[in-house]
Amino acid sequence: MRHTRMAVCSAAFLLATACLATAPATAQGAPRTAAMGYVALGDSYSSGVGAGDYLPGPAHCKRSSRSYPMLWAAAHHTAAFAFPACNGAHASDVLKDQLTALGPGTRLVTLTVGGSDAGFATVMTTCALGGTDRCLSAVSRARAAMDGALPRDLDRLYSAIRDRAPAARVVVLGYPHLYHLMGTCQAGLQDTERAAIDRAVDRLDTMIAERAAGHGFAFADVRSAFTGHEICSRAPWLHSVDLLRLTESYHPTALGHSYGYLPALDRAS
The pTM of the full predicted model, rounded to 2 decimals, is: 0.87
Bridge-partner residues for 171, per DSSP? 110, 218
Of residues 3, 180, 229, 251, which has the active-site annotation? 251
Beta strands in 139-208 (DSSP E): 169-173
The better pLDDT of the pair 32, 138 is held by 138
Distance CA 202, CA 163 (A): 29
Does position 120 have pLDDT exceeding 70, yes or no?
A: yes
SS3 track for 92-114: HHHHHHCCCCCCCCCCEEEEECC
| Active-site choice (3, 44, 64, 240) | 44
Radius of gyration of the chain measured on its C-alpha atoms: 17
Q: Over pLDDT 90: what percentage of the chain? A: 75
Residue 251: active-site member = yes
Q: How far apart are CA 173 and CA 18, in angstroms?
A: 26
Residue type, 18: A
H-helix or E-strand spanning residue 110: strand 108-112
In order of 145, 204, 217, 254, the CA distances from 148 in angstroms are 5, 12, 21, 33
Of the pLDDT bands very low, low, confident and very high (cuts 50, 70, 90), residue 247 is confident
Q: How do residues 154-191 score in pLDDT, each as one tens digit?
A: 999 999 999 999 999 999 999 999 999 999 998 889 99
